A and B are shown apart, each in its own frame.
Chain A
Amino acid sequence: MRVTQGAFSFLPDLTETQVRAQIQYCLDQGWAPGIEYTDDPHPRNTYWEMWAQPLFDLKDAAGVMQEIKACREAWPDHYVRINAFDAGHGWETVRLSFIVQRPAREPGFKLSRTVAQGRVLSYRTEAYALDRPEGERHG
């Protein structure tokens, strides 16, 4: 099941040129792109691992593309996303976030129902990938 998080996730995967253009847009707006990766695709898994530091004060997307490449090489079976942070007054938040790499196999989520006392139903969503230990989930 394809994970749909962040912008453009319902579209086909962005090509390198498209990723570069999006990043250039972020830089032109004065946002600082940061690279993050994870292998736990759960929608509530908000804070992914940071790859190096956010890239402040860049003018050209080439530097970011270089870091993305390094991150992909280090984590070929992980999700990798770009967060563009706007430090402007009143915003101070992520303005654009999109996935730039996803694992080849995305096994999706299990929904389990537990019947508790009084026939109350509680639901639990869990990624199948989590059955395996960290680092081996999408290999």
Chain B
Amino acid sequence: MAEAVSDPPPRIDLRREAEAAGVLDVLDQLDRELIGLAPVKRRIRETAALLVVERARQSLGLQAEPPTLHMSFTGNPGTGKTTVALRMAEILHRLGYCRRGHLISVTRDDLVGQYIGHTAPKTKDVIKKAMGGVLFIDEAYYLYRPENERDYGQEAIEILLQVMENARDDLVVILAGYGDRMARFFESNPGFRSRIGLHVDFPDYGDDELLRIAEIMLDRMSFRFAPAAREAFAEYVALRRSQPHFANARSVRNALDRMRLRLAHRLYESGLEVGTEDLTTLVETDVRASRVFSGGLPAAN
């Protein structure tokens, strides 16, 4: 008894614990590389904190039920769901909740077979590949097709539910998709909702955020905007948003690709000698030539 009293209770420095696991690096990287997404970053930080605390509890011998790590990422296209999932896999790996930390990204096609008896082996194959890492199911609601009662998606769903329950140490499942359709999917599959611990909603980017994203993308490709082009692009983003098939950062990337095309064409046609300056600078006309400024995509789209 005397020994137990004289022994000071062990203390754990959580910050140092997180640092030792390299989690802070990943979180900082997330902050640096991803523009905006404040609520998402907050949720990821909270989750990381929870995992660090759980680890500390475990090391002190306290009851540490591993938290339910399955997640759902909802949000419009191009809001960074896949990118964040990759980082999440990294965080889970560094904290030891995931042995390998790789990410297997699949859609309905990879899970559901084409004839009777094809689905189960296919789904199990994918699950085996994802073991020790994260299984990212994009547009998960396509698994469930209520209009066709013989749809094989149901079989894949049942196998997934079973694995999410029984193989929680081996695999983390992240379901992703548009917000409203995911909500409907969860309503009709309550099993998923109850097995998912963390729901993260990805907001749309603001216009200024998209502009910053564009500049970062250009910087990575060794391009830059001329000042007038930058202003034109800000206008472009505002206009593009109101047109159909707007996909946030993905639309920005596609727009930049087309602008590079126009730049290349312009330089080539000019027949002049070019320098670094010409090769890296997007000018206003490269931006303004987009059909977004002339009323946008045809209505048929």
Q: Which residues of A contact B (CB under 8 A)?
A: 55, 57-64, 66-67
B127:A59 contact, CB within 8 angstroms? no
User: Contact at A60–B100, with CB atoms within 8 Å?
Assistant: yes
**Given A62-B171, A63-B131; 6 other pairs, CB 8 A cutoff:** A59-B132, A60-B132, A60-B133, A62-B99, A62-B167, A67-B128
Residue of B whose beta carbon sits closest to that of A63:
B128
Q: How many A-B residue pairs have CB under 8 A?
A: 32
Interface residues in chain B, defined as those with a beta carbon under 8 Å from any beta carbon in chain A = 99-100, 102, 127-129, 131-133, 167, 170-171
B170 touches which one: A55, A57, A60, A67 (CB < 8 A)?
A60
Q: Is the interface of A mostly helix, strand, loop or mixed?
A: loop
Question: In the complex, what's the smallest C-beta–C-beta distance from B122 to chain A, in angstroms?
Answer: 12
Residue of A nearest to B127 (CB): A63
Instruction: Name 7 interchain pairs, CB-CB below 8 A, sorted by A.
Output: A55-B128, A58-B129, A60-B131, A62-B99, A62-B128, A62-B167, A62-B171
Q: What chain A residues lie within 8 Å of B167 (beta carbons)?
A: 62
B129 touches A62 (CB 8 A): no
Nearest CB in chain B: distance from A16 CB, A:
15
Which of A57, A61, A66 is in CB contact (< 8 Å) with B129?
A57
Q: How far is the CA of A59 from the CA of B129 in the complex (A)?
A: 6
CA distance A58 to B133 in the complex (A): 10
Taking CB atoms, residues of chain A closer than 8 Å to B127 are 63
Across chains A and B, which 8 residue pairs bring their CB atoms closest together, nearest first? A60-B132, A63-B128, A62-B131, A62-B170, A59-B100, A60-B131, A63-B131, A59-B102
